[in-house]
Amino acid sequence: MNSLGIFAAPGKPAASELARRIIALSEAAGLAVKIQSRLAGELNRADLGRDNDEEIAAGDVLVTLGGDGAVLVAARAAACSQTPILAIDLGRLGFLSAVRPTELETAFFQLLRGELIAEERMMLEARVLRARPGQRGEANETTGVLPVAREDVGGGIGLNDAVVAKSALARILRLSVFLDGELVAETRADGLIVATPTGSTAYALSAGGPIVHPAVPLLLVCPICAHSLAQRPLVVGPQETVEIHAEWDGDEVASSELEAMLTIDGQIGVRLQPGDIVQVRQAKCAARLLHLPGYSFYDRLREKMGWG
């Protein structure tokens, strides 16, 4: 092990002090350290600061100081390089964090000795496909086959979920869901969540979805506040592609501007236009999260959910 990167969540006073301790431990062990420029300014260590998250994440390990949100940022930055992530818990829930601040030194030396356990987590990729100007053909209502005249206008990868939801007006969305080109459901709801197993304990859980062990490969499709008791979460295979067509419910608003967005991990947003198609599939890359020896998902679940 030769290098280490640090991501620190902004606005957390404990993060700067913990970063200072990690830098001291790393330099004493002869490791090269890279940190965010903002953090470098707070610590008066401009020599370590970098502006590019992917550069910071391209070392042998990436340490996050914050809550689950910091881990989500780190997972996207480290995805291409497959850098393992060691998460120090400074958040409220901490489903993704592996180490408490009081365990920092112990975890660091276990890291150096190669004793931490790397767990691979499935990620997803969501893209917005939009008809080119002057070529606004719609997808076939039966097969869901995409028209030729569409282009990718934005999106990205995520560890938790991709969400299509209304962004402003209190109207109901009419959502059509296709799996590998086949129409599966039409629902009226506030939105729709497509989650990974990791994301099953995030927004999808609040929407009534099941809790899924991170090792189970699947995509979870959950309506948000569906206007029908018949609508239920749907579990699909990781090889399937989920397509979502969103429009306002009701003929009187069908032609109005669509106040809806695709959000990925609650951190990346793409505003949708009428006729857009959101396509979600398993990402080609995966996140690697480090845990202390003896870590158990069920222990963490029992602790965080208060199950006794």
Selecting among 51, 53, 60, 68, the annotated active-site residue is 68
Please indicate, yes or no, whether the overall pTM of this predicted structure exceeds 0.95: no
CA angle 13, 19, 25 (to 5 degrees): 145
Q: What digits encode the pLDDT tens for the residues 6-43?
A: 999 888 889 999 999 999 999 999 999 999 999 999 99
Q: What digits encode the pLDDT tens for the residues 264-288?
A: 999 999 999 989 999 999 999 999 9
Tokens of 176: 């059509």
* Residue 11: other Cβ atoms inside 10 A: 7
Biggest alpha carbon distance in the chain?
68
Domains parsed from the chain with CATH numbers? 3-116+292-305 (3.40.50.10330), 123-284 (2.60.200.30)
What does the DSSP 8-state code read for residue 99? Answer: B
Alpha-carbon distance of 102 to 196, in angstroms, equals 30
- pLDDT given at position 49: 96
Whether residue 89 lies in the annotated active site: no
Lowest mean pLDDT among 28-32, 48-52, 148-152: 148-152
Q: Where are the alpha helices (DSSP H) in the chain?
A: 13-28, 37-43, 53-56, 68-78, 104-112, 203-206, 297-305
